[in-house]
Each structure stands twice: as C-alpha cells, then as structure tokens.
Amino acid sequence: MPVSLATTVASIPFPTCVYNASGPRTGSSAAMSKIATSRSGGVLAKSATLASQPGNPLPRTWNDNDELASLNSEGLPNAGIDYYIKEQTIMETMGDNNSDNNKPYMVSISGHKLEDNLEMLRKIASSEKSSSSNRSIAAVELNLACPNVIGKPIIAYDFEQMEHVLEQVSALYDGSDDSLSSLPPLGIKLPPYLDGPHFERAAAILNKYKHVVKYVATINTIGNAFAIDMHAEMPVISSKGGFAGLSGKAVKFTAMANVRKLRELLSEDIDVVGVGGITSGQDAFEMILCGATAVQVGTCHWTEGPSCFDRICQELEHIMEAKGYTTIQQFSGKLKPWSKEGAKIARLANSSKKSKAKDQKQQQQSLKQSSSSKSTTSIDFYQILSAILSVVVAILLADKFQLV
C-alpha cells in the first residue's frame, strides 16, 4: 500500500503534511508560486500589516557557517494585506481556475495594534465575499509571536493582552454581521514557551476560544538571540542593538517540546502545527510523533529554496515505509514513554548505524588505497618503459655514428 502524507489542519485538506512557514520567500506571488509547484502541502503568505512596510534596516539576517543556527530581525517587511488577499495575487500564486492545484492558500496577519488585526480580518471577509474565483483564502494565521518589531512586545507572552485580543477576534467571528460570515478558519502563531505555568496559562486561554481558534503554529523564533562578528568586533545584525530571533536547527528541540506540551494541554478541537528547526524527513517525523498534524519549514526553505519540500517529503516517505506506516495519522501524537526495551532498540539502531558508517569509511579508504596503488603501478610501468626506450635510442645513435 502506497504511503500517504495527506493531512488536515483546521479541517482543511492538505495533500502533504509539510508546508512553508510565513516569512522567507513568501513576500510576492512570484516567490509563492514556486512553493505552490513544489510538494509543499499548501502556501502560507508572508505576515502582513495593514499597510506595506520595508522592515528593519539591513543587514537583518545571518546564517551560521555550520548551518546550525540563523538569526533574523526583519521587522515584518511586506506588501500590505491588500496585496496578499487580492484575487490576482492568489491566481498568480496558485494558478487560475482551470489549474489542478488544489492546495490551500493561507494568509498571515500581524498588525501593530489590535484594531489593525480586526481591520485586516474585515478586509479578508470582504475579499472572500466578493471573490469571483474558486481560489479562496483557506485560513488566516494570526501572528501573536513576532519578536522583531521595534518597540512592540510579544503579545502571546502578555497573557492578559493575549486574552483580550482573542476576545475581540472571537467577537468578530461570532457576530451577527453577515459580511463577516465568510471569514476563513483561524490559526494562532505562538512564541516558544519555556516554563510549565506559561504553557498552562496559554493553553487555558486558547481552549476558551476553541470555537474560533482551529489550530496553533508553534514555535516562532526564540527572541533576543545574539551573534558577533569576531573580526569586526560587532554584532552581525544592525537593528535592535544586534538582538534578533533565533531559528534553524538549534531551535528544533525547543519546538518539539512546545508541540508535545501543547498537544497534551489543548482541546482536540485545536490542531497543532510544528515549526522550528525542520531540515529533514526525520525532523518532520519526530515533530509529528510529538503530536503535530503538519509541519512548517522556514529557515531551511530560506537557505535551500522550494526544493526542500520535495526532499523532506521524500525522506519522510522513506522513514514511514521502513517503519510500516502508510499514513501520518498512524503515528501522529503516539510518542511512546521511555522504557528499557525502547532504549535497547535505540542502542542496537545506533550500533548498526555506526557499523555501517565504519564500513563505508573502510570501503572509501580501500578504494583510495587501490586507486593510489594503481596510480603507482602505472607510474612505475611508464618509468621503466621510458628507461628502456632511452637505452634503445642511445644504442641506435651510437651505432649510427660508430661510437662503439
């Protein structure tokens, strides 16, 4: 039976469970169309503000040479909400009505203040109601987690403010205004939580509004990271004194903890989408095992481009085939408790992996030595041949000039 990566988020069908995070390579329809033609399960647009804005001064991104971590302090550069909800943008991204691309197109909003977010939701509802295309906005991701807007706090760390925002957004969804009846399902982008009581408080607020909040995406970057250029003796990021959001492989373990804990605490009505440090099929598998129904890829998409979705999906399929899974639902959220039996399986697997690596190294060395030996033999042969020819030539010349 073939392996399927299909899933649903907020009851929206996705052909694969791997798709892009809002941020890198999502600012324009030209960039997003490349995501749409990859194996990404959907397309999520860049976090939009009410009006377009350029973001923070350059340089605002940095990549570790070992690709273990990245920093960014972009400050939400974007084309404005009107661009991302425009019918033309969606068509340019996803294809026209005759296209067989059935992936969901989603928008992300991150207003400077509550009224901005409410106004953007009204605009989305109006756009959906007046659209003549069957290319609609499948979901809205409300970003309550951005750490990189100068002078603005992370809303989801201020639990009173977070509850107030969700209360107002919920009122918009629950209202009797028919013009808002076409609002798409709502997701919430969350920052990383590091303390047990914070997980509990955030989950309690989200559960209170589970009739409106249909999924959470966790985590955003870890705020206030710092890196230095040793040669110049200065920060690598120009704005905010060099402080920036940490992403990439380094955040994977914090991201998995957030997925795991929130899946334990949230209502089953709220899906969990795992984000942070995903660069391989194994990363995706582990995140889904922790309870994610889908995963988003950000930094890897930035550094590798849209081809990363094809590769990660293929790697995940190979893992599932090796383990006998045919759907992600068969292992999503089914992490086993630690046990001696499990530890034994892990030791055997690691031992086998090391043994294979050792064998490969020995094979490479053997091939290298064989190549070197052949090369030496070849050199010796030509040296002998050259010496013989030199002697023959010398004898012929001596005979010709009667030197002997």
Q: Find the catalytic residue in 146, 290, 308, 313.
A: 146
Which token pair is 90? 């969606």
Nearest partner of 146 among 207, 224, 200, 85, judged by Cα = 224
Q: Which of 54, 70, 245, 241 is nearest to 143 (CA)?
A: 245
How far apart are alpha carbons 205 and 155 in whole angstroms? Answer: 13
Question: In the structure encoding, which two tokens stand for residue 265, read together?
Answer: 């605490």
The residue type at 87: E
Helix (H, G, I), strand (E, B) or coil at 369: helix
Sign of torsion, CA 283 144 7 93? negative
CB-CB contact of 213 with 206 (8 Å): yes
Closest CA to 328 of 298, 295, 301, 296: 295
Strand partners, 244: 225
User: What CA–CA distance (Å, rounded) separates 164 from 224?
Assistant: 25
Q: Is 146 a catalytic residue?
A: yes
Q: Are 5 and 316 in contact (CB under 8 A)?
A: yes
Nearest Cα residue to 95 out of 82, 107, 105: 105
The residues assigned a catalytic role are 146
